[in-house]
Structure 1
Amino acid sequence: MNPLLECQRLGQSIWLDFIARKLLDGDGLQRLIDADGISGLTSNPAIFEKAIGGSDEYDAELAALVAMGVRDPQDLYEQLAITDIRRAADRLRLVYERSGGADGYVSLEVSPHLALDEDATVRAAQRLWRAVDRPNLMIKVPGTAPGIAAVRRLIGEGINVNVTLLFARSAYRAVADAYADGLEAFAAAGGEIGRVASVASFFISRIDTAMDTCIEQRIASTHDDHERTALRALLGRVAIANARLAYADYRQLTAQPRWQALAARGARPQRLLWASTSTKNPAYRDVYYVEALIGPDTVNTLPPATLDAFRDHGCVRASLLDGLDEAQATMAAVEHWRLPLDEVADRLLTEGLRLFVDAHDRLVAAIAAKRDALRVRPLAGACR
């Protein structure tokens, strides 16, 4: 059987971490839905930078927008992105309806420049929510302290949220609390909490990329054979252990009376979504992180190359449930050897924000250049 469909049998949803006009113009997304059971789609500034800035697929619509008087490159980007997000949401609407609102979501991120501004994040999220106008939209908000405060307010207004760039378990727990706070506020205002959905996007492979470097530096600096052996055993293990224990946190939180009271009123659990599950280290199996994090009530969002690889040769088992003892032992070793996991998680959040800001700025600059070129030579087929 298709390994992607087998994951669904074990309770994990597979989403696509990619968007492009060519995917939506043809039957590409529909084929993934039909054949592979793809049940959601995520986007981010880096994905849109490649899609819009790196191709001519959007140039005709860009020309039409400019002809209608839209000039600001940020506004032009949002209009182009909103078109894609709406179309993807419409393609996934049947999945959304058949799953009773559990799946079928498409994510659109607020500007990464707003990551440290709670009020501006809320305003941008509200504006995008209204502009897209689809019930199966999720607004992506980064998991900074101001972002988490914004999540609480957005959920309290009934806006679906994908909380992104989570690296630390402590950040995930804060996000889970914010989600519960928001649901309680929405219910108190008379809202129907059963129609609100959220995921917490927990990043994986970047943890190992950073931690493996720290571990290798420690190995090179010690003359203790026992320490070297123990440290080598941690290579490529920390990210998976970190995620598995976050999943244990999820199960503990959803078993508590506070959540059970919300569930009794129809609330949906805020599932963990595994992000950054493509393998960065060529020494590791190309589906290493996908295979290690399969379990119920989770989502894995995969870029096309990883999706193809897992379909071809992925091995499926309930690895999340089977690996908790191993995860606890790995994290105990991280603490014993005083490896800087907390510092790494903080740094990766900062770096992740910077990468998204850089991608966003490159995209806006590319759109501005295309806009300026249109003033000289309008594209064929553009509105005049």
Structure 2
Amino acid sequence: MATNNVKQIHDFGQSIWLDFIDREIIASGKLKKLIDEDGVRGVTSNPAIFEKAITSSADYDNDIKELAKTAANNEELFFGLAVKDIQQATELFKDVYTESDKVDGYVSLEVSPFLALDTEGTAKQAELLWKQVDRDNVMIKIPGTQPGLAAIRQSIAKGININVTLLFGLERYEAVTEAYIAGLEDHLAAGHKIAHIASVASFFLSRIDVIVDPLLEAKGEKALVGEVAIASAKKAYEIYKRVFSSERWKKLEAEGAKPQRLLWASTGSKNPAFKDTKYVEALIGPDTVDTVPLETVDAFRDHGVAANTLEGGLAEATATLAKLKDLGIDLDAITQQLEDEGIEKFNKPFEKLLNAIEDQKNK
């Protein structure tokens, strides 16, 4: 019997996490099946995923009515629902967490998107959610915005597992690695052990090409269409390897510290002209994570090709980004635009979700 295509990715040192959660996938056994048959090793969630889960089924109705009796507001009520889902999912990944020596088996829960530009509010809520979920294999998601950097450092310094989300640019990604390392140093300096702390940095891909590709086509550069996000990711991995082999890092590694792995996010193809497994296939390599939507897991299982692709073509990736500059396309400005839009993309479904909870309470 042929090896499952998704499972084959693990042979190259990459972990596949699922970018989806709802009560049905947990209760029906589908998530357990994905763990057992496809080797899925973690779950990520975000406000848009929860909005879809809660508004498109009746699975949450009874809990909404119950939590409405005690919750101070609809946001608190939402997190009551989400924490319950996250706790159930972490139970399913307990064996993965143990068998991987705490490298995988994590389920991520994001702070309120309304806090994306609020350092203090983010750090405070990250600690609150960490305590509420109360599971070793949870990660709290914090956006890698400029104000988010200090919150990331503070949270790591408290021993909290952090998934840094909404990363688009290389400069910001490197600043995130600094926040992680500084947070570990703070935790260690306070007299604590650091071997149990885990973190990933979620680098978003396909959205970059959605913005850049029309600009390239307008300039007649069709050969570069669909290549910029992958080139950026390869350069991010180059930064990862440099940062996590430095003398500074080796001191933490000697204390048991784990590198903050790069996680590829937004890996479903948004351009119908591209192969639906394009972004997954292009970035398979050691010590990384790829979080993929359910439909992309299904597609890769059916016709994906697993190979060690991440570390190849680095010279071409460098040339691609240099060519953008020559063409007058400002990637730094584009990645900042994507970050701003990304915050808005999570704010809107979160507002919709809170309104839906209000409606359900009043039924």
Could you say which TM-score interval applies, normalised by the shorter chain?
over 0.9
1:129 maps to what in 2?
130
Tell me which residue corresponds to 1:184.
185
Residue equivalent to 1:11: 13
Query: Which deviations, in whole Å up to 9, do the C-alpha atoms of 1:318-363 show, x marking residues without a partner?
Result: 1001121221121121122221211110000000000100011000
Give the residue type in structure 2 aligned to 1:290.
Answer: V
Name the structure 2 match of 1:285. Answer: 275
2:300 paired with 1:310 = yes
Alpha-carbon offset, residue 70 of structure 1: 3.2
C-alpha distance in 1 between matches for 2:56 and 2:340? 25
> Any idea what SS the aligned residue of 2:224 has?
coil
How big is the shift at 1:57? 1.3
* SS of the residue 1:280 aligns to: coil
Q: CA deviation digits over 1:148-184, x for unaligned, max 9?
A: 1100010001000000000000010000000000000
Q: Deviations over 1:69-126 (max 9, x none)?
A: 4362112111100000000011111110111100000000000111111011011011
> In the alignment, which of 254, 259, 263 is matched to residue 269 of structure 1?
259
**Aligned amino acid, residue 297 of structure 1:** D
Q: How does 1:95-174 map to 2 (within 5 A)?
A: 95-174=96-175
2:33 alignment partner in structure 1: 31
Higher Rg of the two aligned structures = 1
Q: In structure 1, what is the Cα distance between the partners aligned to 2:213 and 2:291?
A: 23
Distance 1:36 1:192 in 2: 34
Residue 207 of structure 1, CA deviation: 0.3
Structure 1 residue aligned with 2:73:
72
Aligned length: 361
Are 1:209 and 1:280, in contact at CA under 8 Å, matched by a contact in 2?
A: yes
- The sequence identity of aligned pairs, in percent, is 50
Q: What is the rounded CA distance, in whole Å, between the counterparts of 2:322 and 2:335 in structure 1?
A: 17
The 3 A distance-change label for structure 1 pair 10 and 198 is: same
CA distance in 1, matches of 2:307, 2:161: 30
For each residue in 1:280-311, what CA deviation from the matched residue of structure 2 results, as whole angstroms up to 9, or x when unmatched?
00010000000000000000000000110011
Q: CA RMSD in A?
A: 0.9
Give the alignment partner of residue 354 of structure 2, picking from 364, 370, 384. 364
Q: Which amino acid aligns with 2:344?
A: R
Aligned mates of 2:92, 2:142 — CA distance in 1: 23
- Bigger shift: residues 50-59 or 125-134: 50-59
Contact 1:202 1:243 (8 Å CA) reproduced: yes
> How many angstroms does 1:197 deviate by?
0.4
| TM-score, L = length of structure 2 | 0.98
* Partners of 1:71 and 1:371 within 8 A in 2: no
Match of 1:57 among 56, 59, 63: 59
Letter matched to residue 309 of structure 1? A
Distance, in Å, in 2 between the alignment partners of 1:38 and 1:316 is: 15
In 2: Cα distance, 1:232 partner to 1:240 partner: 15
Q: Which residue of 1 aligns with 2:209?
A: 208
Give the match's secondary structure for 1:318: coil
Question: Match for 1:273: what amino acid?
Answer: L
1:249-301 deviation digits (Å, cap 9, x = unpaired): 10111111011111111100000000000000001000000000000000000
Give the Cα–Cα distance (whole angstroms) in 2 for the partners of residues 4 and 285 of structure 1.
16
Q: What SS does the aligned partner of 1:342 have?
A: helix
Counterpart code for 2:179? A
Q: Where does the alignment leave 5 or more consecutive residues of structure 1 unmatched?
A: 220-227, 374-384
Gapped regions of structure 2 (runs ≥ 5): none
Q: State the SS of the aligned residue for 1:321.
A: coil
Secondary structure of 1:320's aligned partner: coil
- In 2, the alpha carbon distance for the partners of 1:92 and 1:46 equals 23
State the 1:5 CA deviation.
1.0
Cα distance in 2 between the residues matched to 1:278 and 1:347: 20
Q: 2:290 is matched with which residue: 292, 300, 303?
A: 300
Shift of residue 203, structure 1, vs aligned partner: 0.2
Counterpart of 2:57 in 1: which secondary structure?
A: coil
2: distance between equivalents of 1:79 and 1:106?
16
Match of 1:245 among 235, 247, 259: 235
Contact kept, 8 Å, 1:114 with 1:120, in 2: the verdict is yes
Alpha carbons 1:4, 1:311 under 8 Å: kept: yes
Out of 41, 44, 47, which is 1:45 matched to? 47
Secondary structure in structure 2 of the residue aligned to 1:107: strand
Equivalence for 1:378: none
1:186 shift after superposition: 0.4
Q: CA deviation at 1:63?
A: 2.1
Q: Is the 8 A contact 1:138 1:161 kept in 2?
A: yes
